[in-house]
Amino acid sequence: MGTFIARRLLYSIPVLLAATILVFFGMTAVTDPISQIRLQPNVSQQTIQNIIDRKHLDEPVVVQYGFWLRDVFFNQFGNTALGDQPIWPDLSRAIGNTMQLVFISELIAVVLAVVLGVFSAKKQYSFFDYATTTISFFGFSVPIFWFALILQALATWFFLETGFRLFYTFGQSSFAPENAFIDRIQHMVLPIVTLSYVSIATYSRYQRASMLEVLHSDYVRTARAKGVKERVVTMKHALRNALIPVVTIAALSFGAVLGGAVITETIFAWPGMGKFFIDALIRGEVYTLMAWLMVTAVAVILANLVADIVYGWLDPRIRYD
């Protein structure tokens, strides 16, 4: 297992290097780090020159890439262009904020989706199955921004009707709250529900399809023929194998969502990776955007690695060689 992980991490190095090339040359081809300041009336040419010197913008692009690469690996992504501010403190905070949302929402989504998927498969064509299918399709069809806005409207309506603040519609915390923990929960519920709902809709469909396939496979029939209890057949023999597709999709989603649930974070003003990305985009902070891209690429690679490890745990036939 250790060798496998080490080998996979080594394989990731060329992938990451390729990502740096894509990110840097892609971004520099379409944006200009100092365009935001140059168009301000009467901007100081000396200040522009200071930025050009600091970021080596008058050097060939390949040389700029070299300096940027050095910053990425040895200087925590370096500093912003306009303000010469270190990028990593803000980025790491955004990662932490997103992790809070993503971990909880993914956990809820996976657990609920597996339960719903398994029961739907076991009770195929039952009322429960149809109801779950309908709710799932609703989850697929509803635009996430609309669902988020509806949740906000409901929370506001509840407050205006009752005078009691059950959930907040934006941000992470209130000013001087009486109980910081409860206050944080009140702020997290709506974005978590938004993120979870769409994931549950997706994962539960995968889980149902996968479970149905496994339940009709020969080895499950054999287990039943041997007199193994149905509960054991379902939970031990069938579910374990049926989890593999869900693990794949959940791992990929996790990596992508870690890169930022852009819409959810923007609507709920949650200062995570998605909002970090949008803010950097609006400010035209090219180096911040590139740092975001690199972190997202790493997250996707790591999520895949975790998925591979979980495959082996779920299905011993998968060998790490």
Partner 1 sequence: MRSLRTTRVIRWMSLLAVFALVAAACGGTTGDTTTTAAEETTTTEAPQETTTTPPPVEGDCPDAFCVKYNIHPDAAWADGTPVTAADFAFTYETIMNDQLDITSREGYNKMTSYEEVDDKTFLAVFGELYAPWQTLFSAIMPKHELEGKPFNSYWDDLITLGSGPFVMEEWVKDERIVLQRNENYWASEVPHTGNPLGDVQTLNIVFLEDSQTQVQALRGQEIDMFYPQPQVSLVEEVDAIEGVEWEAGLGPVWEHVDFNHSDPLLSQKFIRQAIATGIDRDAIVEAVVRPIAADAQPLGNTVWLNTSANYEDHFSQYAYDPVAAEAYLTDNGCAKGSDGIYECDGQRLSFNWATTAGNEGRELQFALAQANLAEIGIEVNAAFGPAAEVFADEFIFGDYTVWQMFNFAWVGSPDPSGGNTIYYCEGGAPSGFGDINVTRYCNDEMEQLVRATDTEVDPAARAALYNQADAIYLEDVATIPLYQKPTFFAWNAAISGPKDNATQVGPFWNVGEWTGKELITFGADQQPESMNTFEPDGNLFAAGIVATAVLEGAYTITPDFRYVEQLITSAEPIVPAGG
Residues numbered 79-118 forming contacts with partner 1, rule: CB under 8 A = 80, 82-85, 90, 93-94, 97
Binding mask 147-176 toward partner 1 (x if CB under 8 A, else -) reads --x--xx-xx--xx-------xxxxxx-x-
The token pair at 18 is: 């390729």
Instruction: Specify the residue, 28 or 133, whose C-beta has the smaller distance to partner 1.
Output: 28
- Supply the minimum distance, in Å, between the C-beta of residue 77 and partner 1: 15
According to CB under 8 A, which one of 9, 17, 44, 115 is a site residue for partner 1? Answer: 44
Pick 135 or 314: Cβ nearer partner 1: 314
Shortest Cβ distance from residue 211 to partner 1 (Å)? 19
Please tell me whether residue 248 binds partner 1 under the rule CB under 8 A. Answer: yes
191 to 230: interface string for partner 1, x by CB under 8 A: ----------------------------------------
Selected from 136, 183, 271, 287, the binder of partner 1 by CB under 8 A is 271
Q: State the number of binding residues for partner 1 (CB under 8 A).
A: 84
Instruction: Answer yes or no: are the C-beta atoms of 277 and 289 closer than 8 Å.
Output: yes
φ/ψ of residue 143, rounded to 5: -60, 140
Tell me if 251 sits within 8 A of 304, measured CB to CB: yes
164-200 core/surface letters (b: 16 or more CB in 10 A; e: else): eeebbbeebeeeeeeeeeebbebbbbbbbbbbbbbbb
Residue 139 CB partners (closer than 8 Å, separation 6+)? 197, 198, 200, 201, 202
Contact between 229 and 151 under an 8 Å Cβ cutoff? The reply is no
Secondary structure letter of residue 79 according to DSSP: B
Q: How far is the CB of 174 from partner 1 (least distance, A)?
A: 8
Residue 205: both structure tokens together: 């469909």
Q: Residue 26 interacts with partner 1 (CB under 8 A)? A: yes
Structure tokens at 103: 């971990």
Does position 31 bind partner 1 by CB under 8 A?
A: yes
| Residue 269 in the binding site for partner 1 (CB under 8 A) | yes
